[in-house]
Copies of this chain bind each other. A is one copy, B any other.
Amino acid sequence: MLTPNVVSHTTVRRSNLATAPNPRTSARCSSCAMRHLCMPQGLATDDMPKLEALICSARSVRRGEALYRAGDPFDNLYAVRSGSLKTVMAHRDGREQVTGLRLAGDPLGLDGISTDTHSCTSIALEDSSVCIVPYAALKHMCRESGTMQDRLHRLMSEQLIRESSQMMVLGSLSADERVAAFLLDVSDRNGQRGYSHAEFNLRMTREDMGSYLGMTLETVSRTLSRFQKRGLIDAQGKLIRIIDLEGLRHL
């Protein structure tokens, strides 16, 4: 069992297969929002103290619970502190589309800025905890610190790119390619967080994956099975081990 520490950004590689740290432990988090919300890659530290002082209470969200729902008034941004969440957007007829998977360090809630109302729902895929960043305070801070401003802009821009890429996945790739792209993306992001590139616990269900990738859960399942037969991966339910990274890359 891991200690309830926040993800460290050292180069230590360990797998994140253990269950999430107890989300109930802390009400305040010190360095997490800085590192995570305001750019995974450390960077300048001069105005970290400011942000830390300003921001950063924590909230825990149980598996299946919503951090916020579409339509909720928007006041805070969040940064995933531990665990993972999915963002979901609903069509008027009830159909739902998973629009994102957020891992430790990822920002949440940016979509709320434009209308002062959240436009998607964010649901924990496992017991998770997030840092709360009051948007008004952050905005204020961005006017004092250019570094801060820069980080926020980059964060939003990064998110834009991520979504464009997902549009590309949905619009142009075959089922096999989509699943491969997804596995590679998660592998990569896991690696960036100091976890294993090769092995991870996908907390999403096959249905969530399917929704995110624009296909049915059955097709996801079949595709994973096929990948397994071809020796590309080893999948035991939600536990995925990538065996042939290059193989996946070459589709």
Interface residues, chain A, CB within 8 Å of chain B? 87, 89, 91, 95-100, 110-115, 119-120, 139, 142-144, 146, 149-150, 152-161, 163-168, 170-173, 211-214
Contacts and interface: CB of A to CB of B under 8 A. Distances in A.
A212 B111 contact: no
Nearest to A87: B164
A153 B95 contact: no
Contacts of A168: 89, 91, 97, 99
Contact of A160 (B98, B143, B159): B159
A80 to B, nearest CB: 17
Contacts of A167: 89, 97, 99, 163, 166-167, 170
A173 B90 CA distance: 12
Contacts of A96: 172
Given A111-B160, A119-B164, A143 B149 contact: yes
